Amino acid sequence: MSTAQQAPTYPALVQALADRGLLDARWRQVFEAVPRSRFVPADIWRQSPDRCEPVVGADAWLALVNSDEPVVTQIDDGAEHGPGVATSSSSMPSMVARMLGLLGVEDGQRVMEIGTGTGYVAALLSERLGDDRVHSVEVDPALARRAAEALARAGYRPHLRVGDGEQPWPGLAPVDRLIATCALRHVPYALLRQVRPGGIVVAPLARAFWSGALVRLHVQGDATATGTFCGGASYMPMRSHRAADLHEVRGKGRARAAGLDPARLLTLGFALYAGARLPGVRLVHQATGAGARVWATREDGAAATTASGEEVWQYGPGLLWEEIEQVWQEYERLGRPDADQFGLTVTDRGQRVWLRDQGAPIGPTRP
């Protein structure tokens, strides 16, 4: 049997999403009508944990496009000879299906998407709601042009705009639903004004303390919004929300004996809790044979690094690892809540994470 015959097909992919309960009958019809391959360009990359690998050959192209994997469609904002960082992709179909399910669109509603990318999600929304009810904005002009061409070839003409999706769409009346398909560090308040009271926002949030989580917010009459986290989501950040992974570290390192196994910290629930208790602390991690290695830094030059079974090194002012361990102990006393017990409220004064009770936001450990 040839590779092409063994390659997964799009109908099989849609069937698998339906089998996993990710598509209701209506969305299933929509996915069936909109093959992903129509929106994926010839040059693509496979995302591996530490790099993007070019996909070579028609069979490999088709196999990746018809699989439940992200397909990287641009690296380094389209620049040549860059470091090879993914800057646009067609997201994992199961993630697309999850987000569209959370969006809860109904016939006749108007939707805005931030991050047109390939145009695939805009096409799904156009198929579901009609071209005229879909608005999609893309910051990168070359990607926007390619998406517009792919959409037109497939017979869809949603409203498209080239620009920064963080800014309101000029002249657009409030929509019923807003979906961001790039990760936000915070939900820009200006975006909430783009959604009518009673409307829903679904977005991936990538906060400083390692986390990538979907959040679904309900927009209230007073233009604030609140809602719960709905599982993990790893998305490339909105352009203006890109941040270096770690801060600059100050001072000489001080070693101490191993303490809390850093691998235990790597749950989405703890990431959300610690992100709220230790705002500004960035944490990144890497798997090791024994568990995990983590690095944490703060703007004031404080830093800590350790790995499973190894001593702890701390730098700069204070004792950052001790602070993280204290926050972990609090989290344990709270019963180690899962991510779906946390929520987010966004107002014109910023955003606050809460646990179980939206009236009681989690405050920082430092004033």
Ligand X SMILES: C[S@@+](CC[C@H](N)C(=O)[O-])C[C@H]1O[C@@H](n2cnc3c(N)ncnc32)[C@H](O)[C@@H]1O
Which strands form 159-162's sheet, in the order they lie side by side?
159-162, 134-138, 111-114, 175-180, 195-207, 211-219, 225-232, 342-347, 350-355
Decide: is 13 part of the binding site for ligand X (CB under 6 A).
no
Decide: is 126 part of the binding site for ligand X (CB under 6 A).
no
Q: Which is nearer to ligand X, 66 or 91 (CB)?
A: 91
Q: Report the distance separating Cα 289 and Cα 48, nearest Å.
A: 18
Decide: is 35 part of the binding site for ligand X (CB under 6 A).
no
Give one DSSP letter per residue of 96-118, joined into a string. Answer: HHHHHHHHT--TT--EEEE--TT
Q: Report the distance separating Cα 324 and Cα 265, nearest Å.
A: 9
Q: Which is nearer to ligand X, 127 or 166 (CB)?
A: 166
Decide: is 67 part of the binding site for ligand X (CB under 6 A).
no
Q: Which is nearer to ligand X, 188 or 343 (CB)?
A: 188
Which strands form 282-288's sheet, in the order they lie side by side?
254-256, 312-315, 303-307, 291-297, 282-288
Beta partners for 74? 88
Stretch that binds ligand X, among 2-10, 47-55, 197-205, 236-244 (CB under 6 A): 236-244
Alpha helix stretches (DSSP H) within 76-163: 93-103, 120-129, 141-153
Q: Report the distance separating Cα 180 and Cα 174, nearest Å.
A: 16
Minimum distance between the CB of residue 112 and ligand X, rounded to whole angstroms? 11
Exactly one of 88, 90, 91, 136 is catalytic; name it: 91
Stretch that binds ligand X, among 132-140, 222-230, 285-293, 358-366 (CB under 6 A): 132-140
Q: Which of 129, 233, 236, 304 binds ligand X (CB under 6 A)?
A: 236
Stretch that binds ligand X, among 60-68, 134-142, 291-299, 312-320 (CB under 6 A): 134-142
Minimum distance between the CB of residue 29 and ligand X, rounded to whole angstroms? 18
Helix axes 93-103, 25-33, angle to 10 degrees: 130
Catalytic annotation present for 89: no
Q: Which is nearer to ligand X, 38 or 277 (CB)?
A: 38
Decide: is 47 part of the binding site for ligand X (CB under 6 A).
no
Enumerate residues 166-185 that contact ligand X by CB under 6 A.
166, 181-182
Give the 3-state secondary structure of residue 227: strand
Contacts of 64 (CB under 8 A, 6+ apart): 44, 46, 55, 71
Q: Which of 44, 97, 238, 278 binds ligand X (CB under 6 A)?
A: 238
Q: Tell me the two tokens of residue 287.
A: 């798997």
Enumerate residues 76-105 that contact ligand X by CB under 6 A.
88-91
Decide: is 164 part of the binding site for ligand X (CB under 6 A).
yes
Decide: is 118 part of the binding site for ligand X (CB under 6 A).
yes
Structural element, H or E, at residue 38: none
Decide: is 134 part of the binding site for ligand X (CB under 6 A).
no
Q: Which is nearer to ligand X, 165 or 262 (CB)?
A: 165
Minimum distance between the CB of residue 161 and ligand X, rounded to whole angstroms? 9
Q: Which is nearer to ligand X, 82 or 198 (CB)?
A: 82
Q: Report the distance separating Cα 243 and Cα 247, nearest Å.
A: 10
Q: Among 217, 183, 26, which residue's Cα sits nearest to residue 103?
A: 217
Q: Which is nearer to ligand X, 140 or 176 (CB)?
A: 140
Decide: is 194 part of the binding site for ligand X (CB under 6 A).
no
Minimum distance between the CB of residue 78 and ligand X, rounded to whole angstroms? 10
CB atoms near residue 340 (< 10 Å): 14
| Residues 300-333 as b or e (16 or more Cβ within 10 Å = b) | ebbbbbbbbebebbbbbeebbbebbeebbeebee
- Pairing status of strand 211-219 against strand 195-207: antiparallel
Q: Which of 138, 169, 205, 362 binds ligand X (CB under 6 A)?
A: 138
Decide: is 121 part of the binding site for ligand X (CB under 6 A).
yes
Binding site for ligand X (CB under 6 A): 88-91, 114-115, 117-118, 120-121, 137-140, 143, 164-166, 181-182, 235-236, 238-240
Catalytic residues: 91
